[in-house]
Chain A
Amino acid sequence: MTISIDPQKDNNESLQPNGWLRYLSFSLDHKVIGIQYMVCGFLFYLIGGTLASAIRIELASPMSDFLPRDVYNQFLTLHGTIMIFLWIVPVVNGAFGNYLIPFYVGARDMAFPRLNAVAFWLIPPSGLMLITSYFVEGAAQSGWTAYPPLSITTPQSGQIIWIISVLLLGGSSIFGGINFIATIIKLRRPGLKLMQLPMYCWAMLGTSLLVVLSTPVLAGTLILLSFDIVAHTGFFNPVLGGNVVVYQHLFWFYSHPAVYIMVLPAFGLVSEILPVHSRKPLFGYTTMVYSIMGIVVLGLVVWAHHMFTSGTPPWMRLFFTIATSFIAVPTGIKFFNWVATLWGGKISINSAMLFSCGFIINFVFGGITGVALAQVPFDIHVHDTYFVVAHFHYIVYGGTVFIIFSSIYHWFPKVTGKMLGEKLGIIHFAITFIGFNLCFAPQHWLGLNGMPRRVAEYDPQFEFVNQISSIGALLMAISTLPFLVNIFLSFRNGKDSGNNPWNALTPEWLTTSPPPVENWEGDAPLVEEPYGYGYSFSEKNKKI
C-alpha cells in the first residue's frame, strides 16, 4: 500500500498560524477550509434566517405594515441570494466537499490547495459587500432572479453591488468545481477504482460538472445586465430594442442546474449517512451512480420550465415538460434505493438518522409537487405563486438543509472528536420538522387559491393560513437555539467519541478523530467496499 503523493515538506507551513487563528488564515489544509466554509456559511444562514423571519412577520397580517415596501423587496432579494449563494451552495459543496473528498479519494489534500483557499476567501468579502449594500444605499430589490427591466429601473447601486458579489461567488463556485473534478478524477490513490468511490464523490463530480458548465453562463448574463445598467446598452431593455426573454433563458440555464448544485451533494451525503446508521450496504450502488449522471444530463436541458408563462412557443413548452418530468425517474430511483437501504437494517435512531428520514419525506413531497409543476397546464395557474415558494423550500430546506444538519450530527465527532448531544439533537429535529411543515405545507394552498409570491400585502381571506405559516417560521427560528446550544455544550464538554464512533467503513473514519493534518499517519487505506456492512471482511476493514 503505497501512495503516489509523497507528503512534501513545506517550509512555508511554519508561517501559518496555529490554534484558532488558522481558521481566519489563508490556510491550505482542506480540513481547515472545509470548516471555514461551514462556519462562514452558517453565519450567513443566521442572517438569511433573520431576513426570512422579518418576511414572515410582515406576512402575518394582510397589510403592508411591518416593513416599508421597498425594504420588503430588498429583504426578499437578500434572503434568496444569501441562502442560495452564501449558505447552501458553499456548505453542501464547499464545506463537506472540501472536508470529505480528499479522504474519500485517499489523498492528503485537494488537487489545487491554493485555488481552494482562494475560492473560499472570495466568499466572505462578497457576502459582506452584499449585506453592507443594504446599509449604504439600499440593497437590490428585484428578487434573486433580478429580472430586467425591473432590475434595470430599480436604484442602480444596490443592483450593481448585487451583480458584483454574485459574480465573485460564481467565480468561487467555479474554482471549487474545477478543484473537485481534478481531485476526484486525477488524485485517487492507486488501486482505487471509480466505481469503488463513496457515493458523495459521484454526487460532487456531477455537481461540479454542472457548476463548470452552467455558472459561466450566469456570469456572462450578469455582465450583460450590468452593461444595461451602467452603460445603458439595450440587451435586456425593450425600450432600446432588447429582449427580456433572452435574459430569462440565460439566467435559468444556470439557475435551474443551480437547484441540482444544491441538491445533488445532499443526495451524496445522505447516501453516506443511511448505510452507516442502518448497518447495511447502500442499495443499488450502480443505479445510484447512473441516476446521478442522468440527473446531471437532464438538469441541463430543462431550464425553460421556469418560463411557461413567458410567451415561449408551444413546441418548447412540450419539450421542457417532458424533459422535466423525466428527472423524476432518476430521482425516484434514488429514493427507492434509500428506502431499500433502510429495509432490513439494524437502524440506530439518532439525530443524524432522523434528519435523513425527514429529508426523504420532505423531498418526496417536494418532488411530487415538482413533477406537477413541470406540466405546462398545471404550471400556468400556479407559476409565481406561493405554491412555487412552498415547492422550492421543500426541496432546498426540507431537502438540503435537513441533510446539512444530518451531516453535522454525523461528522461532528470526526471533526472534533466529541459526540453531539443526542437529546438536544432530537429536540432540534422535532422542532425543525414540525416548524418546517407548518410553515410551508399551507403555502401550497395559498398558491393554488390566489396568493402570488413576493407580495407584502395580500387578500385578507388568506390571513389565517398565513399566520399558521408564520408560526411555523417562528418554530424554525427557535429550532436553531437547541442546535447552537448543543454545539456549544458538546464542544466544551461533550462525550469523547473515539476515532470511529459509528463503526463506519468509509475512509474518513479509518484515521484518528480529529484527523492529523496529513490525514493518515501512514499510507491512505485502500477502501474497496465503503459500504461493506454485514460482510465478514468488514471486521477486517475496521482494524486498519
Chain B
Amino acid sequence: MLNKNIYLILIISCVFGISFWIGFNVNLLPAEASINAPIYDELFKILFIIGLIIFIGMTIAVIYSLFKFKRRKDEIGDGIALEGNLSLEIIWTLIPSIIVLIIGIYSYNIYDRMGGMKELNHSHEMMSSNTEKIWAGISQSSNNDIANNNLSVEVSAMQFAFLFNYPKGEFISGELHVPVNNKVSMRMESKDVIHAFWVPEFRIKQDIIPGQPTILNFTPTKVGKYPIICAELCGPYHGGMRASIIVEEESDYKDWFNKNKKTEVNL
C-alpha cells in the first residue's frame, strides 16, 4: 500500500515537473512587440502548464489502464462491480470548479491590465462627432491620454486592403508607421464587409465591422516590421489581405512623416 502511494506521488510529481519544464522552456508564441504581449504570454504560460498537467495526466491514466487492466487470454469474468464513489466524484467536481474559477479571475485580471475592461467614452472629442457611437476594442489608455496622444491613425479596411490615414499629416499610407514606445490610437472603419485587424506580435485583434467605427489602442515596444493580417473571411482575396506595421525609432518616424506630409499644409 505504501509502495503504491509512493509510486503515485512520484508519477504526479513527474507530470508536474515535465509540464512546468515544457511550459517554461517551449515557446510557441511569436516575438513580443507591444505592452500587451508580455501580459498575454504570462496568461498563456499559466494556461499552457495547467493544460499540460491535465492532458499528460489523463493520457497516462488512459494508457496505463489499457495496459494494466488488459484482459489476459482465456480470462473470463467481469471487472469489479464499482458503480461510483461519492467522495471521489465530489473531489473531481470541486477541484476543476476551483481551477476554472481561478483561471477566470486571473484572466479577468489580465484583461483588465490589457485595458479591456475600460469603457471608452462614447462621445469622444477627438475621434467622433457627438452623435456617433464608438465601439471599443482593447484600450490601454484612459481618454485623457488619447486626447493628447502623439499619434492617432484612421484605418479603413476594404476588400482587400488596409489604408492608414494620418490626419495630422493629411496623407494616406499603405503601411502603418509608428514610433516605438508610443501610444497609438486607431479609429478603424470598414468600407464593405467585416474585416479584422490582427498583429500577432502585438497579441491584439479587433474585428472591423461595417457600421461600427471601432477604437483600438496599442503601444509597440520593439522596433521592427510586423505583419497586419485580416483575420475575418472577407472574400476571395482574403488570404492576400495583409499590410505591414513598421515600428521605428522616434526620429526615423519623424523623417518618414515629414517626407509624406502634404506640403500644402505649410503653404
Residues of A within 8 A of B (CB): 64, 69-70, 72-73, 141-143, 147, 149-150, 153-154, 238-239, 242-245, 278-287, 309-311, 313-314, 317-318, 321-322, 325-326, 328-329, 332-333, 335-337, 339-340, 342-349, 353, 357, 360-361, 364-365, 368-369, 371-372, 375-378, 380-381, 383-385, 444-445, 448-450, 452-459, 531-535, 538
Residue from the list A244, A283, A333 in contact with B211, Cβ < 8 A: A244
Bound-state Cα–Cα, A445 to B48, Å:
13
CB distance from A363 to the nearest CB of B (A): 10
What 7 pairs between A and B have smallest CB-CB spacing?
A: A238-B211, A534-B81, A455-B239, A311-B135, A450-B200, A345-B79, A69-B236
Closest B residue by C-beta to A238: B211
Find out whether the CB atom of B193 lies under 8 angstroms from the CB atom of A149: yes
Find out whether the CB atom of A361 lies under 8 angstroms from the CB atom of B100: no
Residue from the list B65, B69, B135, B227 in contact with A459, Cβ < 8 A: B227
Contact flag A339-B69 (CB < 8 Å), given A332-B92, A384-B205, A533-B79? no
Find out whether the CB atom of B231 lies under 8 angstroms from the CB atom of A385: yes
Residues of B within 8 Å of A347, CB to CB, are: 65-66, 69-71
Bound-state Cα–Cα, A268 to B29, Å:
37
Find out whether the CB atom of A333 lies under 8 angstroms from the CB atom of B79: no
Bound-state Cα–Cα, A238 to B209, Å:
9
- Could you pull out 26 A-B pairs where Cβ atoms are within 8 angstroms? A64-B240, A73-B233, A73-B238, A150-B235, A278-B69, A287-B84, A287-B93, A309-B137, A311-B135, A317-B111, A325-B100, A329-B93, A329-B100, A336-B89, A342-B65, A345-B80, A347-B70, A360-B58, A372-B51, A376-B111, A378-B47, A450-B229, A452-B229, A458-B239, A532-B81, A534-B78
In residues 20-77 of chain B, which contact A (Cβ within 8 Å)? Answer: 28-30, 39-40, 43-44, 47, 51, 54-55, 58-59, 61-63, 65-66, 69-71, 75, 77
Find out whether the CB atom of A533 lies under 8 angstroms from the CB atom of B62: no
Find out whether the CB atom of B75 lies under 8 angstroms from the CB atom of A346: yes
Residues of A within 8 Å of B88, CB to CB, are: 340
Residue from the list A309, A360, A450 in contact with B62, Cβ < 8 A: A360
Residue from the list B100, B118, B214 in contact with A328, Cβ < 8 A: B100
Residues of B within 8 Å of A453, CB to CB, are: 231, 233
Contact flag A310-B207 (CB < 8 Å), given A73-B236, A342-B62, A380-B138? yes
Find out whether the CB atom of A454 lies under 8 angstroms from the CB atom of B205: no
Find out whether the CB atom of A284 lies under 8 angstroms from the CB atom of B230: no
Residue from the list A143, A285, A459 in contact with B83, Cβ < 8 A: A285
Closest B residue by C-beta to A69: B236
**Counting CB contacts under 8 A, is B108 at the interface?**
yes
Residue from the list A309, A385, A455 in contact with B238, Cβ < 8 A: A455
**Counting CB contacts under 8 A, is B97 at the interface?**
yes
Bound-state Cα–Cα, A230 to B266, Å:
52
Residue from the list A70, A150, A343, A344 in contact with B194, Cβ < 8 A: A150
Bound-state Cα–Cα, A337 to B86, Å:
11
CB distance from B151 to the nearest CB of A (A): 22
How many contacts A-B (CB < 8 Å)?
A: 275
Residue from the list A309, A310, A339 in contact with B61, Cβ < 8 A: A339
Find out whether the CB atom of A279 lies under 8 angstroms from the CB atom of B77: yes
CB distance from A80 to the nearest CB of B (A): 11
Closest A residue by C-beta to B201: A450
Bound-state Cα–Cα, A284 to B90, Å:
11
**Counting CB contacts under 8 A, is B104 at the interface?**
yes
**Counting CB contacts under 8 A, is B203 at the interface?**
yes
**Counting CB contacts under 8 A, is B15 at the interface?**
no
Closest B residue by C-beta to A143: B233
Bound-state Cα–Cα, A457 to B239, Å:
5
Find out whether the CB atom of A448 lies under 8 angstroms from the CB atom of B231: no
Residues of B within 8 Å of A449, CB to CB, are: 28-30, 200
Bound-state Cα–Cα, A346 to B205, Å:
51
CB distance from A503 to the nearest CB of B (A): 9
Bound-state Cα–Cα, A533 to B203, Å:
52
**Counting CB contacts under 8 A, is B103 at the interface?**
yes
Find out whether the CB atom of B233 lies under 8 angstroms from the CB atom of A309: no
Bound-state Cα–Cα, A242 to B212, Å:
11
Number of chain B residues whose Cβ lies closer than 8 Å to a Cβ of chain A: 84
In residues 202-240 of chain B, which contact A (Cβ within 8 Å)? Answer: 203-207, 209-212, 214, 227, 229-240
Find out whether the CB atom of B54 lies under 8 angstroms from the CB atom of A364: yes
Residue from the list A64, A149, A242, A444 in contact with B239, Cβ < 8 A: A64
Find out whether the CB atom of B93 lies under 8 angstroms from the CB atom of A346: no
Residues of A within 8 Å of B65, CB to CB, are: 339, 342-343, 345, 347
Find out whether the CB atom of A448 lies under 8 angstroms from the CB atom of B212: no
Other 18 A-B pairs with CB < 8 A, given A64-B240, A459-B227: A142-B233, A149-B194, A150-B193, A244-B210, A245-B212, A280-B80, A311-B135, A311-B212, A318-B117, A333-B93, A342-B66, A361-B62, A364-B54, A380-B205, A384-B198, A384-B232, A450-B229, A534-B81
**Counting CB contacts under 8 A, is B82 at the interface?**
yes
Bound-state Cα–Cα, A361 to B66, Å:
13
**Counting CB contacts under 8 A, is B155 at the interface?**
no
Contact flag A311-B54 (CB < 8 Å), given A378-B43, A452-B230? no
CB distance from A330 to the nearest CB of B (A): 8
Bound-state Cα–Cα, A286 to B70, Å:
27
Bound-state Cα–Cα, A64 to B235, Å:
14
Residues of B within 8 Å of A310, CB to CB, are: 207, 209
Bound-state Cα–Cα, A290 to B20, Å:
34
Bound-state Cα–Cα, A193 to B92, Å:
27
CB distance from B28 to the nearest CB of A (A): 5
Residue from the list A238, A317, A332, A445 in contact with B28, Cβ < 8 A: A445
Contact flag A377-B43 (CB < 8 Å), given A309-B196, A349-B66? yes
Residue from the list A239, A286, A353, A377 in contact with B84, Cβ < 8 A: A286
Find out whether the CB atom of B81 lies under 8 angstroms from the CB atom of A535: yes
Bound-state Cα–Cα, A283 to B62, Å:
15
Residues of A within 8 Å of B40, CB to CB, are: 377-378, 381
Bound-state Cα–Cα, A459 to B241, Å:
11
Bound-state Cα–Cα, A241 to B42, Å:
41
Find out whether the CB atom of B93 lies under 8 angstroms from the CB atom of A375: no
Find out whether the CB atom of B206 lies under 8 angstroms from the CB atom of A357: no
Find out whether the CB atom of A344 lies under 8 angstroms from the CB atom of B69: yes
Find out whether the CB atom of A381 lies under 8 angstroms from the CB atom of B200: yes
Residue from the list A326, A349, A533 in contact with B70, Cβ < 8 A: A349
Bound-state Cα–Cα, A314 to B120, Å:
10
**Counting CB contacts under 8 A, is B107 at the interface?**
yes
Residues of B within 8 Å of A532, CB to CB, are: 81
Find out whether the CB atom of A70 lies under 8 angstroms from the CB atom of B236: yes
Closest A residue by C-beta to B197: A309
Bound-state Cα–Cα, A314 to B119, Å:
7
